Structure 1
Amino acid sequence: MQFADAIGFNGKFYALSVQGSLAVIEVVDSSPRVTGLSATRMVPSVSSKHFREYLLESEGEILLVYLISRKSSVHNVDGVEVYRLNFARLSWLKLETLGERAVFVGSNCSMSVMASEVGCRKNCIYFRHPVDDDLWWVYDMESGNISLGWSETNPATSAIWIEQIDE
């Protein structure tokens, strides 16, 4: 079994195979073992030419984010879907909102944050452009729109992060 993405959570690993199955992996008798496998494969609900998937933890839940390319170019993201894992059934439930949270997804790290604490927009998915790594895009879950978030090379649109240091 080959995996597209995996996350460690509550002493287990949850790994999404390239075929869309979710495997739960635990260490049993000092060896990793698959202790659970989803009955169905997960793929985006819409037809697509290409998609990228990301697993992450958010408020004690595991989320699966799909960046979807429906048009001819695999380098354009024109759709985003977010799912929450039902642990008991090892199945995915589609989310319509993130509430006050924002999600950042990327090849090296994906995370969920309280938007008001870091100064970004709530109920949004932030992602980098697949070809131009300097561009950040924002998917607004309420409107369904994708817009340019900022460019790391353009000072007019670059993000500024301020961290409070307690002394």
Structure 2
Amino acid sequence: MEKNALADVKQKQKSYRSPPPPGDRSCPWLVICHGWEVQRQTFYDILEDRHYTKIIPDLRNKRIRATSSREWLFLEDQYSDDCCLWNPASLEKIRLPPLEDLACSYCFFSSPSLSDPQSYVVVVDTGENTIGYCKPGDDAFKRHKVEPYIGCAAMFKGEIFLLLEDRELAIADIENSELRVRALGNKEVNSSNPGGVPASRDHLVSSGEELLIVEEMIYALPMGRIYGFMVFRMNFAQETWEELKSIGDQAIFLSVRGGISCSPKDSRIKKNAIYFVQHGVGHIHMYDLEDQSNLKASPCSNIDYRSSYLHWIML
């Protein structure tokens, strides 16, 4: 009996230090990092309206960024230059060179698999308009300055796309160990927006066969509150951004940096909708593109969102 009880305790401890089992999922989880020194992680299952609170040592004091690979997350330490790649399923960790003056806004892999000897880890720092890149095992990130400035980035059909000033598109790729940025030219925006939007923020999102701009429209007062979205698709043949009134059977999940698009299999997730979170606000919001309604639900009302980090991730 004592051995069984001890085994149960060890199993519970192991479970408490690991992410919840992913199962067969078509939608992302919301991970909320919170508590003293951000030592707790709450994984919210939007399908089941359930949350699982964990204390995972590898995630303590870390900022989490999704990568272009479902298997890996990018972890950036809050108090040092340390960073690494972390596999939520196996708990494997791959150490990377120190970031030094880089900050990770987005993280991509130049090849589908890290086992490819030519695969680079690419970190986009939108604050400094700099792209850092390295191979696992390198001593330092190489750096490439981008002008005019990087608004946001996304991986689309195996290539890293950058959204620059005036919604100009560019592709970043690595050839002979050197990164180059190839601008695709100025892109006209065809929009029915009458203007008068107090503020806005763009997200570049890969959604099925489309590359999208998801534009947040933000209230001036109260400051930073989102009241709606506009969506544009890139028409590569005509080199224009075209406004979309519908994203069809897709749902988009936006974090502060980047977004995840999926085709929900479960009717509890609304298609043709945008799910989003805001730091300091304890709700998931759902914006219906069809009727332009904005609904909210509270996933974990017992968490102090003012000192937390929220991200959508695939597990």
Deviations 1:67-99 (A, max 9, x none): 101443332111210111122344211111111
- Report the CA distance shift for 1:43/1:106 in structure 2 as closer, same or farther (over 3 A): farther
Per residue, is there more helix in 1 or in 2? 2
Residue 275 of structure 2 corresponds to residue 145 of structure 1: no
- Cα distance in 2 for partners of 1:106, 1:43 equals 26
Give the TM-score normalised by structure 2: 0.43
Taking structure 1 as reference, are residues 63 and 139 closer, same or farther at Cα in structure 2, changes over 3 Å only?
same
Q: Does structure 2 conserve the Cα–Cα contact (< 8 Å) formed by 1:49 and 1:70?
A: yes
1:79 to 219, 225, 228: 228
Count of aligned pairs between the two proteins: 153
Q: Which residue of 1 aligns with 2:14?
A: none
5 Å-filtered alignment, 1:4-153, equals 4-40=151-187, 45=193, 46-117=195-266, 119-132=268-281, 134-148=282-296, 150-153=297-300
Larger RCO, structure (CA 8 Å, separation 6 or more) = 2
Structure 1 residues 144 and 39, CA, compared in 2 at 3 Å: closer, same or farther? same
C-alpha separation in 1, matches of 2:228 and 2:182: 33
Q: Aligned residue for 1:160? A: none
Q: Taking structure 1 as reference, are residues 14 and 89 closer, same or farther at Cα in structure 2, changes over 3 Å only?
A: farther
Which whole-Å CA distance do the structure 2 matches of 1:119 and 1:101 have between them? 13
Q: Distance in 1 between matches of 2:189 and 2:219?
A: 17
How far does residue 13 in structure 1 lie from its aligned partner after superposition? 1.8
SS in 2 for 1:3: coil
1:159 matched to which residue of 2? none
Structure 1 residues 94 and 25, CA gap change in structure 2 (3 angstroms): same
- Gapped runs of 5+ residues in structure 2? 1-146, 303-315
Which ranges of 4 or more aligned residues in structure 1 deviate by more than 4 Å? 41-44
CA distance in 1, matches of 2:233, 2:283: 27
Residue 118 to residue 56, structure 1, CA distance change in 2 (3 Å): farther
Counterpart AA for 1:7: A
1:100-130 deviations in Å (ceiling 9; x for gaps): 2111111244111112347301111111135
